[in-house]
Amino acid sequence: MYTDPNVLELPPVRSSFMERFRGYIHRTVLVKLSRWYCRWFNYRADMGIFPLPFNLVLKYTHRTRRAEALAMSMARKLGIPTPRLISYGSDGPHWKRGSILMTRMPGKPLDEVHKSLLTAEWDIIREQLASYLLLMRSCKSPWCSRVCSVEGRSLIGARIPGGEEGPWADEAAFHATFLGYASPLNCNPEVSFEDQLATVKLLTDAHHNLVFTHGDLLSHNILIDKGRVSAVLDWEYAGLLPEYWEYTQILRLPFLGWWWPQFAMTLPGYKYEKEYKSYCAMWSFARDSFSW
């Protein structure tokens, strides 16, 4: 059967029983094995990431969803270096907690090695990241105008109101969630409510394409090995979102003087200065709802 390579492949239907069975094996066997393994080799398991023998890693956190495993798998199919998905498991239908068994990737986080990189290595990293973003953004959404996860459901994210919302029928509905927090009480004290709302409207009144988005492309989620990008990690915030969202999340906060946003703004695809200003005004309204 012919499949359009420019359209993200819809995730197959999975057996909920098998996902729960794998989840049971992950938490009762692999987590215990990882704790033994870490004690034996003096490794450290942080934030629900459990190192395992045979070059494997288990991610087991309250934010891990099936959509993350699917997004990671989709990105790998596009040619982006990501861990290979071995299996996804769930604690059950009433618990929002999952686990992903995957391969371990070589390298160290960019935020740990950025001071030691040469100019030529920075040029290679910039070129690689630009190509990965272009691959993702060239894919068409299988969900038409819906703003959602890769499986068409709710999104999670540090800048999604409530930590998890959606799906939304379209971009306008997505923005309406943020505008629901717009009031003088939530206004930035340095500007008037009317001015802040007008800045937001510049974004919400515009139309943007929906693209496959990582959603958390910060330096600690990019592994570097021998001066090149060896992996892009942590796809839990991924989804189909307005095209500006990837870049506003890379910059994240209105403090652009440190090295990462300065580098990110040199990426060839960055052209969202106006959207970034409007986005900052928009998230300022909703900032008390974020999970951070």
- Reported as a single tens digit per residue, the pLDDT across 36-82 is 988 888 887 777 899 999 999 999 988 899 999 999 999 999 999 99
Report the side by side order of strands in the sheet with 108-109: 108-109, 222-225, 228-232
Greater model confidence, 14 or 53: 53
CATH 3.30.200-classified regions of the chain: 16-104
- Reported as a single tens digit per residue, the pLDDT across 150-180 is 999 999 998 898 889 999 999 999 999 999 9
Rounded alpha-carbon distances, angstroms, from residue 28 to 6, 25, 37: 40, 5, 15
What letter does residue 159 receive in the DSSP assignment?
Answer: T
- How far is 83 from 76, CA to CA, in rounded Å? 8
- Reported as a single tens digit per residue, the pLDDT across 163-222 is 899 999 999 999 999 999 999 988 888 889 999 999 999 999 999 999 999 999 999 999
- How far is 45 from 282, CA to CA, in rounded Å? 36
Q: Which two tokens stand for residue 84?
A: 């290979």
Q: What angle do CA 108, 110, 111 make, to 5 degrees?
A: 110
Considering the four listed CATH numbers 3.30.70, 3.90.1200, 3.40.50, 3.40.30, the one that applies to the domain covering 109-289 is: 3.90.1200
* Secondary structure of residue 37 in the 3-state scheme: helix
CATH 3.90.1200-classified regions of the chain: 109-289
The predicted model gives 4-21 an average pLDDT of 72
In the CATH scheme, what is the code of domain 16-104?
Answer: 3.30.200
- How far is 69 from 102, CA to CA, in rounded Å? 9
Cα–Cα nearest to 56, from 75, 41, 34: 34
Is the Cβ–Cβ distance between 159 and 168 less than 8 Å?
no
- How far is 131 from 137, CA to CA, in rounded Å? 10
Q: Which two tokens stand for residue 125?
A: 């990293």
The model carries a pTM of 0.92
